[in-house]
Structure 1
Amino acid sequence: MRYRRFGKTELRLSVFSLGTMRYLAAPENVWQTIQKAIALGINHIETAKGYGKSEEYLGAAIALGLPVPRSQLHITTKIPPTADADTMRRCINESLEKLHLDYLDCLGIHGLNTWEHLDWVKAKGGCMQAVKEAIAEGRVRHVGFSTHGSLDLILAAINTDLFEFVNLHYYYFFQRNLPAIQLAAAKDMGVFIISPADKGGRLYTPSQALVELCYPFSPLELNYRFLLSNPHITTLSVGPATPEELTEPLAVSDRDGELTPEEITALERLEHYKNKILATDKCSQCYKCLPCPENINIPEVLRLRNLAIAYDMTDYGQYRYGMFENAGHWFPGMKANRCTECGDCLPKCPENLAIPALLKDAHERLKGRSGRRLWGS
């Protein structure tokens, strides 16, 4: 296992962190999963108030006795932004109680996803007042934020200089947030990548087309290596439901150097194949088509279409597309069938894409079943 400095927190975190959302699918395995993760070198566990009973399960495991000294295990929980300090104080107290902890190594403002959330964070007497009090009292040591928001919002939150780390989405198949990683690095913030296996493409169950294009690497391995080759990224979330699911991700936990020529070749093959298959229908993700009068997240819809056509990632596309209109600020935007063909987007597109037609095609390919987030807001 490799370890990296988590920005100005000065914590040295394992390059993989144990996420605790999925272990709730098999709560009887929680203690065994935590034990195995620590034995394999993971020294950072991340949970959240919003992850059902995750804090309680982790707290019960902590109460049984950690296999390493508390000072060697870094624990993060996340609490949603609140409009007032009193609510945040209560939430911090509840989380510490559930976790059986005297202090949190890191507290993340969970889901800083809207401009209103950012206003709450910046407001005098808002949630950050309670966080600062907890830091002064030694009950919280470091503060950061997690986000599913737009790039502009993420950059604005980083530029408040209120935070020491950021948790965000960034993968080989979604590179939109690279400027946020670069700004975080310039601010000496730690960078935590959310769900690279699942949100990054459901890469634990890849299509045969993707397997063949990534050979001799697995798609999951190649995505992990793409991320770990970036020195500005501190740690990647791995969220096993059972101890056995740690094996494949951690097989690359000691390979965090530059990409090898073979890995670069595989990534170039993916890019060339996508360009060939999509040809003049490829959306390059410039985001210039926004805003849409019907609030359709056009670039994200067309990204999912790109992946479905180029790499047969239809299952992933349907999974993510089904979140539209069902996940609130965690995955905002309307489905593509809301398009009225008003044409507002057409002159904005530098590639002259027939966007309304592509949206219609994307909806037909991806409409599947609607989905919701695993846990509530």
Structure 2
Amino acid sequence: MQYRRFGKTNLRLSVFSLGTMRYLADAETARQTIEKALALGINHIETARGYGKSEEYLGKALQAGLSVPRSQLHITTKIPPTADADTMRRYIDESLEKLHLDYLDCLGIHGLNTWEHLEMVQAGCIQAVQEAIADGRVKHVGFSTHGSLDVILAAINTDLFEFVNLHYYYFFQRHAAAIQLAASKDMGIFIISPADKGGRLYTPPQTLTDLCHPFSPLELNYRFLLSDSRITTLSVGPANPEELIEPLQVADHINELTEEEISAFQRIENQAKTALATDKCSQCFACLPCPENINIPEVLRLRNLAVAYDMTDYGKYRYGMFENAGHWFPGMKANRCTECGDCLPRCPEELNIPALLADTHERLSGKAGRRLWG
């Protein structure tokens, strides 16, 4: 396991962090998963108030005693933005109580996804967080986000935060500017869910597997991220101890990309150009805003992946979240398109966007999805 400095927090975190949204079968499975992670060199555990019994299970494991001393273990919990400081004070106290801790190494504002959330933080709850920092109950503050790039950049530019948790992967590089800005401010950078949200790469389609050979798609995505020295740590979210094994096989590989890895990425790029031809959405976002509130770039990104790499299962999984996950995954489904034509003159590729939206809905519509936890 390799370790990196988590920006201005000056914590040295393992390049993989244990995410605890999925180890929720029971307290014993949680304890076993935590101990396996520690044995493999992970020194950072992340939980959240909103993750069911996750804080409670982690607290029980800490109370019973772990193989690593508390002083060598870094613990983050996340709490959603609140409209007032008193509610945040109560939430911080409740999390500390559930975790059986005197202090948190890191507190993340969970789901800073909208302009309203950012206003809530600035106008209310950040006061309670700063009080907790002053009295030692919280050491460092950051935020996690599923928001749009403009909201993320604005939150970083408040200079209220020491780290950021965000989505950024080989197949989703929209937030590259946020990575750069956070790094310029010496913020710790934590990548959320690179295996699952990054493409469900633990169950890749054969087309993608063949393109990545001799590497696995999961391995290549991890290497894409770990080769970037600005990124501190990646979340791994096992449901049991066994699911830690495959991801952590690359935990020592944080050097620059090799020529063979670069060649694999070039094959992936060439496949997209060939398969999508003149229908490839370049993700420039010029088509927004849409009068029907369709997240056109994200819909067409999912189409890109389905057509180019047969990533249809992943596409259905994400597409099913539209209209079902609120601010965590905003936007209407593609069949809401009225063919008004507002987007057409703004597209530099001159794509027939209404036709591509209809095609995407036909390919990917299925059962509605939802977030695992609210």
Structure-2-length-normalised TM-score? 0.99
Structure 1 CA distance for aligned equivalents of residues 269 and 81 of structure 2: 38
Equivalent in the alignment of 2:292? 294
1:9–1:142 CA contact under 8 A, matched in 2? yes
Aligned residue in 2 for 1:371? 369
Counterpart CA distance in 1 for 2:55 and 2:251 is: 26
- 1:332 CA displacement: 0.3
How far the C-alpha of 1:25 sits from its partner, in A, is 3.9
- The equivalent residue for 1:8 is 8
Query: Counterpart in 1 of 2:275?
Result: 277
Alignment-mate amino acid for residue 257 of structure 1: N
Contact 1:26-1:242 within 8 A present in 2 as well: no
Contact 2:211 2:267 in 1 (8 A): yes
The alignment status of 1:204 with 2:202, answered yes or no, reads yes
Contact 1:26 / 1:241 at 8 angstroms: preserved in 2?
no
Q: How does 1:1-377 map to 2 (within 5 A)?
A: 1-25=1-25, 27-123=27-123, 126-376=124-374
The one-letter code of the counterpart of 2:86 is D
Does the CA-based 8 Å contact 1:76-1:105 persist in structure 2?
yes
Instruction: Give the residue type in structure 1 aligned to 2:191.
Output: I
Identity over aligned residues, as a percent? 82
Root mean square deviation, CA, Å: 0.6
Aligned equivalents of 1:24, 1:197: Cα separation in 2: 19
Which amino acid letter does the alignment assign opposite residue 355 of structure 2?
A: A
**2:56, 2:99 within 8 Å by CA — same for their partners in 1?**
yes
Secondary structure in structure 2 of the residue aligned to 1:45: strand
| In structure 2, distance between residues paired with 1:258 and 1:333 | 37
Q: CA deviation at 1:66?
A: 1.8
Distance in 1 (alpha carbons) for counterparts of 2:11 and 2:115: 30
State the alpha-carbon separation in 1 of the partners of residues 104 and 218 from structure 2: 31
Is the 8 Å Cα contact of residues 196 and 237 (structure 1) preserved in structure 2? Answer: yes
TM superposition shift of 1:27: 4.4
- Measured after TM superposition, the shift of residue 28 of structure 1 is 3.3
AA paired with 1:61? Answer: A
How many residues are matched? 374
Rounded to whole Å, the distance in 2 between the matches of 1:204 and 1:23 is 17
Q: C-alpha offsets along residues 140-184 of structure 1, whole Å, 9 cap, x if unaligned?
A: 000000000000100000000000000000000000001000000
1:49 maps to amino acid: R
Helix, strand or coil for the counterpart of 2:113? Answer: coil
Q: Do the aligned residues in 1 keep the contact of 2:27 with 2:60 (CA within 8 Å)?
A: no
3-state SS in 1 of match to 2:164: strand
Cα separation, 2, equivalents of 1:164 and 1:230: 19
63-72 or 184-193, which deviates more: 63-72
In structure 2, distance between residues paired with 1:338 and 1:26: 41
The amino acid that maps onto 2:4 is R
| 3-state SS of paired residue (1:166) | strand
Q: 1:109-150 CA distances to partner (integer Å, 9 max, x unpaired)?
A: 000000000011111xx0000000000110000000000000
Q: For residue 18 of structure 2, give the secondary structure of its aligned residue in structure 1.
A: strand
Distance 1:340 1:65 in 2: 59
CA distance in 2, matches of 1:205, 1:251: 17
Residues in 1 aligned to 2:267 and 2:149: alpha-carbon distance in whole angstroms = 28
Give the Cα–Cα distance (whole angstroms) in 1 for the partners of residues 46 and 135 of structure 2: 22
Moved more, 138-147 or 60-69: 60-69
Contact 1:16 1:253 in 2 (8 A): yes
- The answer on whether the counterparts of 1:49 and 1:78 sit within 8 Å (CA) in structure 2 is yes
Distance 1:28 1:298 in 2: 44
Which whole-Å CA distance do the structure 1 matches of 2:57 and 2:317 have between them?
Answer: 27
Quote the offset at 1:375 in angstroms: 0.5
